[in-house]
Chain A
């Protein structure tokens, strides 16, 4: 595999780009693997990479019903941050940010991790209280996050409207400077290339139709569109389709899959230097390196696998953006799209063993899975390799829904007066 660097690029520029080789082969399934990972998104490919790189397990297949990176990895708005409230979450996401910072070098693939800062806006007294709580907790957890006054918010993000007369006035904001964005496709491709280089088979366009179990209940392998494939361990990382796959192994999960939409504007010259999130008005925005304003919308109210999403939600999202950033009113929407996100009752993920021996699951990331990619992949690989969780993902069990030991980031941010 060609090593990527400026010299290789220059050399190939001179020879008409004849020297580049394929970044991953189009593998056909073998009869048997040590580990089969279901779902070739960033999480699944990353887990395969770390299984091979850190645990020496290379007889691994990553199987996807479509093309690699074609699900939520390639459809999200690429926000990366770790200023979560609870210790468990902060540790997991900060672990991910640590990995993000070196990921381009680790993978020899520029994933363009852009440490441009994520600013979360407070629009009412409850927001202010909640963000202050986050900032204090983050500080004692060693996670950077600091309070900005409205004027400091404006200085950090000049397009922001901080008029006190706004329907949702900006009362301040929480800024994590280490946070930012990355190039989503490159994450999937970089992990795919790194995993393939270490012997992992990436099998695309091959739907897993069922997980098959042995007489003793343990995992036997997977049924696929290309026949049965035997496996000692099966690790499911299939986002919105996780429930469907896991049900074939009689594992029922507290998941619901919702349609999530996102959109971009036409590209313009740099105007928006950071990432801004406003939970109160549901506006999430940054500007891509291509110049497009990348805007996250919310989920529709009903569960769905249609990837369609409705117009009213988009109308609301754009109204929210132009409320917070009135100068963008005459910008134009270029493209909007939908994904399917799997949501747990406490809005935190599950990275866990399951009651089935040899079956593991990484799911429930809701709208926030991209930012966790390296951290989730790394700890999931550990869990699969050692058959026990890494200390960082140990709290993210399935059992917490029985005992009530939730990691309730959603409730902690909930509003009620």
Chain B
């Protein structure tokens, strides 16, 4: 059971309140019909599956209901940071994995 900091509630809470929502920063193209089949495949299916720092989304489903972004180390499962949707991808070099 992970511990997750909701950037909206500003509380660190058990995973049971949250739902995982896949890789972050995959933007739906503004004009989908202009996309090639390869581009649409990329949008729909191709994922980083990063071993290490992973940009991902969670939803505070049983809480404020917000989708937000996170960086998590998929080897240790520890979160490096969480931040609201729509804000820029944080620079990995500024994040250090600390004990909670």
Query: Could you tell me which A residues sit within 8 Å of B by CB distance?
Result: 241, 243-244, 252-257, 301-306, 308, 310-312, 342, 345, 401-403
Contacts and interface: CB of A to CB of B under 8 A. Distances in A.
Interface of B: 1-2, 15-16, 19-20, 37-38, 40-41, 44-49, 51, 54, 56, 72, 74-77
Contacts of B19: 301
B44 A303 contact: no
B56 A345 contact: no
B38 A402 contact: yes
B74 A403 contact: no
B15 to A, nearest CB: 7
Contacts, number: 61
Contacts of A401: 41, 44-46
Contacts of B74: 257, 303-306
Contacts of A312: 1, 15-16
Contact of A302 (B41, B72, B75): B72
B88 to A, nearest CB: 22
A305 B45 CA distance: 20
Contacts of B72: 302
A255 B49 contact: yes
Contacts of A303: 49, 54, 56, 74
Contacts of A256: 47, 49
Given A301-B19, A310-B1, A312-B1, A254 B75 contact: no
A310 B15 contact: yes
Nearest to B1: A310
Contact of A345 (B45, B54, B77): B45
Given A302-B56, A308-B77, A403-B37, 16 more contacts: A253-B46, A254-B41, A255-B47, A256-B47, A257-B74, A301-B20, A303-B56, A303-B74, A304-B77, A306-B74, A306-B75, A311-B1, A312-B1, A401-B41, A401-B44, A402-B37
Given A345-B44, A401-B41, A402-B41, A302 B20 contact: yes
A305 B16 CA distance: 20
Closest 4 CB pairs of A and B: A254-B45, A243-B49, A301-B20, A402-B41
8 contacts: A243-B47, A244-B51, A253-B46, A257-B74, A302-B2, A303-B56, A304-B74, A345-B44
A244 B49 contact: yes
Contacts of A244: 49, 51
A308 B20 CA distance: 17
A402 B43 CA distance: 10
A284 B53 CA distance: 33
A310 B37 CA distance: 38
Contacts of B46: 252-254, 401
Nearest to B36: A402
Nearest to B76: A306
A271 to B, nearest CB: 32
A256 B47 CA distance: 7
Given A302-B56, A306-B77, A257 B49 contact: yes
Contact of B75 (A252, A253, A305, A345): A305
A241 B51 contact: yes
A20 to B, nearest CB: 39
Nearest to B4: A302
A45 B64 CA distance: 49
